[in-house]
Chain A
Amino acid sequence: MVSRRTAKLIVVGVIVAGTLVAESKREYRFSVGPKAGVSVMNPYGSISVKPSVNNTVVVNAFLHSDKVEVDKNQNGNRVDIQSHLLAGADADSGRVDYEVLVPADASITLHSNTGSLRAEKLHGDVSLEGPGAMVDVRDISDAHVHVKTMNGAVNLDNIQNGHVEVDSLSGDVTLNGVTGPLVQVVSTSGRINYIGDFGSSGEYRLTSHSGDIEATIPEWTSADVSARSVRGEVHDDIPLQPKNHTWFPLDKGRAFAGTMGRVAVSSTVVLRTFSGKIHLRKRSEKQ
């Protein structure tokens, strides 16, 4: 049987532990109007943004130590959140993980050196940047999506009518169901993988230096496709109507160009790499 003294100690311990846990989490709420702007600058740690149910911005911050604090500022329709590193903070002790709810039409700007950056189910502009951040953006419509990373992997899923620009040095970039007037990816050594139908009447530019580029598209895609690897090789599983004129030499195995589907509604697709491989694949019906 537990003595009365032990029971007291347990109760006190639970209370203290609960207090510590509570201290590591902060919640902030801001009322905003339509098309608000929300930025979160976080040197270390993840940031996840989801839609809120009303015109409220809710910021849940999980602080990993007392060597970091959260600066918050609201100026009209704009909310700025910033992790403030105190003396002695490093990547571990300075870490803050954010879970943020914003109105779906809000524009967001997220920055983190490490950790993951996630945004989903929004239709405001999305700008994500972080050298080592893994980026995951999904279910975004009618918005600009701008991503900059150094070596973090980038995954964009179901972006409709987007103005998409991704710059990555060595991180792999995967676009699944991404369409819009402009979809542009530039990478140095990361792989670029596009899965989708290239929408209609958009401009799709996938460019790498040494990374491979693979586009997997359904047979019914309408697109004007040009592909060239200056020093690598290209493969084309889909028969294209050849073009009479291209701005580059159509060296066999290093370039191809042609149209597929209905020309009137076709998108312009440019796949270009310096030394990587390009592969235009036909998506099977099971995929």
Chain B
Amino acid sequence: MNCVELQQSLAEVEDGNSVEQRVHLRACAACSALVKELNQIVAAASQLQAAEEPSPRVWNSIEIALRREGLIRPPRAAWSPIPSFAARWGVARWLVPLAAVLLLAVGIYVRRESLPNQLARQASVTVPVANASDLNDDDLMQEVADNSPEMKTQYAENLRQVNESIRDAQGVVDESPNDEDARRSLMDAYQQKSMLFEMAMDRPLP
């Protein structure tokens, strides 16, 4: 079993307890550390006190997220002249989850790439979604134009900058796949772009 197979098997067998997993974990420090981290997270989660009241921010964030998804309605929705969230956002309401999925994919990819065994075998690095820097930029700007026209110029400039940063970092990662800082720069750039999308769509509820 190699590192990739071990990571895939973690989703199927808990705690790294199969014979093959144990053999690999004894020999691979990187995977051993990964499993240790996962176990720590599981252990910490089980110690959370059910009776402890979460921060009001948590409830607030949940409520906002549910409203965004249309699962609960804001108090004024029944009589508001403004159309529903889904009707106003159309396809664009999927941009944030799409960006999140993209980030997750990049994160998993970079994490895997950082394992020593794999680094040795990799000749080059590409981000899974090669055209990610162009991800629905036009849709984003259209939303900004419709809903925050006074900030259109600022969004356009920041979108340009963040796309440029993605191209910069991608270029260096392509040249030097083992450059950990370049990889992190690429990850940061994608995260910043995701944040830009999030902010553009984070509009007040009717």
CA distance A127 to B55 in the complex (A): 12
Within 8 A of B (CB), among A194-237: 207, 209-210, 228, 230-231
- Whether A37 contacts B57 in the complex (CB less than 8 A), given A209-B169, A230-B182, comes out as yes
Q: Does A43 contact B (CB under 8 A)?
A: yes
Count CB-based A-B contacts (< 8 Å).
125
Binary B-proximity of A112-139 (CB < 8 A = 1, otherwise 0): 0110000000000101010110000000
- Whether A82 contacts B188 in the complex (CB less than 8 A), given A169-B195, A247-B180, comes out as no
**Closest chain B CB from A65 CB (angstroms):** 16
How many interface residues does B have (CB within 8 Å)?
40
Residue contact A230 to B60, C-beta cutoff 8 Å: no
Residue contact B181 to A107, C-beta cutoff 8 Å: no
Residue contact A43 to B56, C-beta cutoff 8 Å: no
Residue contact B192 to A186, C-beta cutoff 8 Å: yes
Residue contact B158 to A107, C-beta cutoff 8 Å: no
Task: Identify which of B23-31, B104-112, B124-132, B149-157 touches chain A.
Answer: B149-157
CB nearest to A90 among chain B residues: B150
CA distance A73 to B165 in the complex (A): 42
How many interface residues does A have (CB within 8 Å)?
50
Q: Does A36 contact B (CB under 8 A)?
A: yes
Residue contact B56 to A148, C-beta cutoff 8 Å: no
B81: chain A residues at CB < 8 Å are 87
Q: Does B38 contact A (CB under 8 A)?
A: no
Residue contact A186 to B191, C-beta cutoff 8 Å: yes
Residue contact B57 to A107, C-beta cutoff 8 Å: yes
CA distance A230 to B181 in the complex (A): 7
B56: chain A residues at CB < 8 Å are 35-39, 77-78, 107
Residue contact A131 to B60, C-beta cutoff 8 Å: no
B76: chain A residues at CB < 8 Å are 71, 84
Q: Does A85 contact B (CB under 8 A)?
A: yes
CB nearest to B81 among chain A residues: A87
Task: Identify which of B10-18, B40-48, B196-204 touches chain A.
Answer: B196-204
CA distance A84 to B76 in the complex (A): 10
Within 8 A of A (CB), among B162-182: 162, 165, 168-169, 172, 179-182
B79: chain A residues at CB < 8 Å are none
CA distance A170 to B195 in the complex (A): 12
Q: Does B39 contact A (CB under 8 A)?
A: no
**Closest chain B CB from A250 CB (angstroms):** 12
6 new A-B contacts at CB < 8 Å, known A39-B60, A188-B161, A231-B172: A39-B56, A109-B57, A150-B199, A167-B191, A188-B192, A210-B161
20 A–B contacts, CB within 8 A, in A order: A43-B203, A43-B204, A82-B205, A84-B204, A85-B204, A113-B151, A125-B57, A131-B199, A132-B151, A148-B195, A151-B154, A167-B191, A167-B192, A169-B162, A209-B165, A209-B185, A210-B168, A230-B172, A274-B169, A274-B185
